[in-house]
Amino acid sequence: MEQQLIDQLGLKLGVNGLPYRVPIHPHFVHLTLGLFIIAIIFDLAGTFFKLERPILEFFRLPAIRSGFFDVGWYNLLGCAVITFFTVAIGFFEMMLANPPINQISDWGLGAGQTMLWHGVGGVLLLTVIVAMTVWRGLQRYRWRTDAGQQVQWSYLVVGVILLGILYLHGTLGAQLGDEFGIHNTAVHLLQQHKNPNLVLD
């Protein structure tokens, strides 16, 4: 299956098993994470604005409550868009993976199981992030247009819980590269008894 895909697309794979030198998926993952984290933090900051106001005034920072909610909304919207690319590139790179068979992670999962959970989890997280973006948009433009606090407490609770789930999910992805060596150039070079420091410089 993997070789058929490579032949059909006419790809020339490098040492890391990808048609490019550095995996792209981890970069998009960090963009997704950063945008989501900023979105939730700024919505929390907007929610607790009354407590923060004396600090902001002390430092003479001209912040307004709606500004925090603006940052939260636009970062979440950007996160929803970017995450489509994150998942798509992740599946492309996963299809080109050649996972080891007789090896387990610190969590007791094999490489295939880890890839399966990471792939299914990625699609589910994309779905949840898009649903949260719709939920956040309805709060911003329909339900709470006149409210000082633009987001509901239930939305913030779900957002904080999702931060924890993203951490666990990201750990699965890190295990694929670190523990199983999937698309990890240094690991592949070491398996070929080559010094990564000499080859990659």
Note the pLDDT tens digit of each residue in 55-111. Answer: 555 556 566 667 788 899 999 999 999 999 999 999 988 888 788 888 888 888 888
Q: What is the mean pLDDT of residues 125-138?
A: 94
Nearest to 135 by CA among 86, 88, 80: 80
90 touches 122 (CB < 8 A): yes
pLDDT at 5 over 50: yes
72 touches 65 (CB < 8 A): no
Q: How many domains, the chain?
A: 1
- Tokens describing residue 167: 């951490």
pLDDT at 86 (0 to 100): 95
In our burial notation (b when 16+ CB lie closer than 10 A, e otherwise), range 33-65 reads bebbebbbbbbbbbbebeebeeeeeeeeeebeb
Residue with the larger pLDDT of the pair 168 and 4: 168
By CB atoms closer than 10 A (0-12, 13-18, 19+), residue 130 is middle
Residue with the larger pLDDT of the pair 198 and 69: 69
Angle between helices 111-138 and 153-178 in degrees, nearest 10: 160
Q: How far is CA 17 from the centre of its chain?
A: 22
Out of 11-15, 90-94, 154-158, least confident range: 11-15
pTM summary value = 0.81
Is residue 158 very low, low, confident or very high in pLDDT (cuts 50, 70, 90)?
A: very high
Q: Which 3 state secondary structure label does DSSP give 33?
A: helix
pLDDT at 42 over 70: yes
**In 10 A of CB 12, how many CB atoms?**
6
- Tokens describing residue 193: 């008894």
pLDDT at 1 over 70: no
Q: Measured between alpha carbons, how far is 108 from 79 in angstroms, rounded to an integer?
A: 31
Q: Measured between alpha carbons, how far is 5 from 95 in angstroms, rounded to an integer?
A: 8
Structural domain of 107: 2-200
pLDDT at 201 (0 to 100): 46
Out of 30-34, 62-66, 137-141, least confident range: 62-66
